[in-house]
Amino acid sequence: MTQNQQGQMSENMQAGPVTPEMNHGGHELFDVQELLSGAVAGLNQCVLLRPHIQDQELLTMLDNQFQFMQEEYNIIVDCFKTGQDPFKPTQSYKMSQNNDFIYGIKPTQPKKPIQSANELTDEIISGFLLGVHKTSASLKAMVALETTNPVVRRVIADSVPNCIEMAYEVSIYQNKHQYYQVPQLAKQDMMAIVNSFAPSQIKPGTMPN
Sequential pLDDT tens for the chain (209 residues):
555 555 454 455 555 566 766 777 788 899 999 999 999 999 999 999 999 999 999 999 999 999 999 999 999 999 999 988 998 888 999 988 788 899 999 888 888 999 998 999 999 999 999 999 999 999 999 999 999 999 999 999 999 999 999 999 999 999 999 999 999 999 999 999 999 999 998 888 888 77
pLDDT at 25: 76
Could you tell me the residue range of the domain that residue 141 belongs to? 24-91+121-194
Question: Would residue 10 count as lying in a domain?
Answer: no
CATH number for position 136: 1.20.1260
Q: Are 40 and 70 in contact (CB under 8 A)?
A: no
Question: Would residue 135 count as lying in a domain?
Answer: yes
Question: Would residue 201 count as lying in a domain?
Answer: no
Q: Can you give the length of the chain in residues? A: 209
Question: Would residue 16 count as lying in a domain?
Answer: no
Question: Would residue 182 count as lying in a domain?
Answer: yes
Q: Are 28 and 147 in contact (CB under 8 A)?
A: yes
What is the total count of domains within the chain? 1
Question: Would residue 8 count as lying in a domain?
Answer: no
Question: Would residue 96 count as lying in a domain?
Answer: no
Q: Are 109 and 33 in contact (CB under 8 A)?
A: no
pTM of the model: 0.85
pLDDT at 137: 97
In the chain, the N- to C-terminal Cα span, in Å, equals: 48
pLDDT at 136: 97
pLDDT at 72: 96
Question: Would residue 176 count as lying in a domain?
Answer: yes
